[in-house]
Structure 1
Amino acid sequence: MGTIHLIRHGQASFGAADYDQLSELGTEQATALGVSWEASGWAPTDAVAGGMKRHAQTAIAAIDACGGDGYDVDARWDEYDHLALARATDPTALGADPKAFQASLNRAITAWMGGDTPAGETYVQFRGRVLAAFEQVVSQATSGRSVAVFTSGGPIAAVVSHLLSGDDSLFQRLNDVVINASVTTVIVGQSGTRLLSFNEHAHLPRDMMTFR
């Protein structure tokens, strides 16, 4: 049996000029994940990260902390352009507090999934590239191998929705609750590909737990 560990990046820099950059807390979250791996004597046999800076920074902090090797890059694990989506619904969304921003984003995602394309990439295109990247990782997760994937909440929600329901019906509910530096584990075996756990974050102290 092989395993896949889908890891959301640490907290990014919401409200800053460059969102795609871990905050100080985000780096601490990623390091805490790696430290928990090292403490249990575990490290991934393979690792891949999306093409965004926050993915790379999370991968580096976690892998360095557990003494693992490097990682490959696959931009198909990149997040959808959530900033553009939110602005399309509310031009002032980026100046709002995180709760108000999330409300604007959720309205935009509903429209996006229904066929609106304010961000350039359609939802169908996003889902297609993510699921194709996931299938490639499934092929890597052969018996005894553990593949760590450093990505974002959207790709994790897309994969889990399809594992649980076979469609996109759970995407938005799952996307709302993925915690920074959390781990979602999938097992790959003779009976197929199955979700083992979602959104694990016991490695994070309570005061380090964030959603955005």
Structure 2
Amino acid sequence: MNERSVLIVEDEVAIRDMLVMALEIAEFDCLQTDNIRDAYQIIVDQRPDLVLLDWMLPGGNGIELLHRIKRNDDTRELPVIMLTAKTAEDNVIQGLDVGADDYITKPFAPRELIARVRSLLRRSVGGEAAERLQVAELVLDGQSKRVSVGTDDIDLGPTEFRLLQFFMSHPERAYTRGQLLDQVWGANVYVEERTVDVHIRRLRKALENRTPDYSQLIQTVRGTGYRFSSQGVAL
């Protein structure tokens, strides 16, 4: 039996069969369904390592299932790649805002999809250093995957955690969106640069409702990208 399993949630039989073939050739175990009700049951019962989730599905849509996955403490760390024919920016951002780790628009090349699956799985199994980082009362524990300010835990998704970990490990330097994609998402991942802005916004939101406002540590550098700096921030 292969070690890594992928759940395919796709109602178009031809696409689902193509995905199964590509994944099995790449030595993944495949689970499959065409609706969100059965998909969630499979997630709970069989614990796949990653979900390929179509946007448009019978009896609901992929965003509804994504909401449910990310609201449940037992499944919120499950990596999800959205499969969609929708290319409008608002739709892409909606999926990322809800908690998708990546998205790929149809039609796509099987080799590109496999590259994204492998990269996302590498990131989800603990590739980050198990180090403890601290700025004032903001603490990131790489071993327990917890972030806190004082005695209060901060709820972060896996991508926001990796982004904050990279920033705290590399303070006082400006990084372009492309550099952040390479460092946090992986150099071989095909993700658009605006994805960085979405996750920066989510990370800032998680840090802002504190006293002091730790979201100020993540600074926008005009013409470049972003920098993590405590200079000029009252902590």
Could you state the TM-score of these two structures normalised by the residue count of structure 2? Answer: 0.30
Considering fraction of residues, name the structure with more helix: 1
CA radius of gyration, larger in: 2
Q: TM-score, normalised by structure 1?
A: 0.32
The structure with the largest strand share of the pair is: 2
